[in-house]
Amino acid sequence: MTPFGFVKSPVLLHKSVIILAGIWLTISLPVRAQPSLPPDPAIAVAWADVTVKTMTRAPQNTPTYGSRALGYLGLTMYETVVCSSKKYRSVARQLCDTLVLPQPDHTRTYCYELALNAGQAYMMHALYGYTNSLERVDSLARAMHDYYANCYPPDVVTRSEAYGRALAHKIYQWSQTDGGHKGYERNFPADYVLAKGLSIWQVPIIGQTRTKVPMHPDWGKNRVFVARNHALPLPKPLPYSTDSSSQYHQQYKEVFTRNKTLTEADCETALWWGDDPNLTCSPPGHSYYLATKAVRKANPDLVKAAQTYCRVGMAVADAFVVCWKTKFTYMVERPSTFVATMKFNGTHYMDRWYPFFPEPPFPAFYSGHATQSAAMATVLTDLYGDNFSFVDDTHVARAPVVGYGLKGEWKPLVFTPRAYSSFWAAARECAESRLLGGIHTRHDNEVGLAEGAKIGQAVNRLQWK
């Protein structure tokens, strides 16, 4: 057995105990390396797990900055190991023709697991060093170094780690020019001037934050990973209308009506996919975790595992850039604003109705949740197939929530795993959860799913082999 339960061929073993991410694990260390064994995906999974935990606890956590971090972490993971296999190829020059990465000396031996380990540790410090809380990162880096250092001669260890760090450094340098560098320092720019007018987004009365300005209004100007995504035309929102027969009016009324008839199952769905960045790993972290579910079940080789995180990371990163460009082009209002100005069934609900889920601090059209989850589903389906069932337990270990109100009753909330028949089944439920939460129209969600699929397809079209 390898450190995380993936089965390999028998080797000569002796027992050792390490601490990984705060949990004691008993592992077996080979006395000599076995070059004929296939690279193990366990180290990729371990780093993805630590990444998601770090995101969850990061101050100033936002889905925008988090998605960007995952894009660079996934790319680094893939590029540090891609040269270990003749089946795969680097995508760096396809992303940017001037992004020239260090290359290994093919006449010498490398441990690409150590290169991955060093590269991920470097990037985590570069992207999340501001948190001053990377004990999990450093613990994992040491544990993996010690494990693989027992398998290879010292010169191989030194050479492999130097390669991983040099490659990560080059990618980090490239990241600094994308427009999102240190984005956590300007989540809510104080000098932003809010637009005014009918159908224009307004600061929510009850929201996820107390800010009076929107989150990362300029994020849509950032560079994307895949140039094809930058060229996507902006879809148009529904034309504003207070006419009760108009599509605009009907869509917003549906949100209001649906929120007045929520079931317990509806509420649990809305809360499962809420992924509030103040409390969780945020939507892109949730998608990265679902990539881990795929890797754990399929048990691919190391390069495909790393490619899985690379594709998901870049897809959700581009999803937030493209979605934010649309959001801040049109500045479409949230349902609560429209409901507050209208009379449904002859009653004014301005002082009575609030969405079930607290409103995010940015415009509505189109849904970021739907977009990034569709991008995730598109790349994972391409890698693992359309009928890939799995159980999502992202929030099972989450601190308990006291409960929520429903029809005058108080319901205790316990997060329980949710089963899906495919990645798209999860993406569609994620999109629907935003209507159930009262913060998006059906049009927001449907457009988000369609645009997210386009973004994921652009990632899939890169020449991976």
pLDDT of 300 reads 96
pLDDT of 9 reads 28
Q: What tokens does 274 get?
A: 């809420």
Residues 85 and 38: beta-carbon distance below 8 Å: no
pLDDT of 352 reads 62
Residues 297 and 5: beta-carbon distance below 8 Å: no
pLDDT of 33 reads 41
Q: What is the mean pLDDT of each run of 10 residues along the chain (465 residues)?
A: 33 29 33 48 96 95 97 98 95 96 95 97 98 96 95 96 98 98 95 90 83 93 97 96 93 93 93 91 97 97 97 98 98 92 56 81 96 98 97 86 75 88 98 96 98 98 96
**Four-residue CA torsion sign, 191, 192, 194, 195:** positive
Side chain identity at residue 314, one-letter code: M
Q: Does the predicted model carry a pTM greater than 0.85?
A: yes
User: What are the Cα distances from residue 407, in Å, to 75, 263, 267, 411, 433?
Assistant: 47, 9, 11, 10, 19
- Domain covering 188-460, topology: Vanadium-containing Chloroperoxidase; domain 2 (1.10.606)
pLDDT of 34 reads 41
> Which uninterrupted H or E stretch holds 26?
strand 23-30
- Note the CATH number of domain 13-175: 1.10.606.20
Q: What string of H, E and C letters represents the secondary structure of 338-367?
A: HHHHCEECCEECCCCCCCCCCECCCCCCCC
Whether the bond into 420 is cis, omega within 30 of 0? no
- Domain ranges (residues) in the chain: 13-175, 188-460
Fold match, 13-175 / 188-460: yes
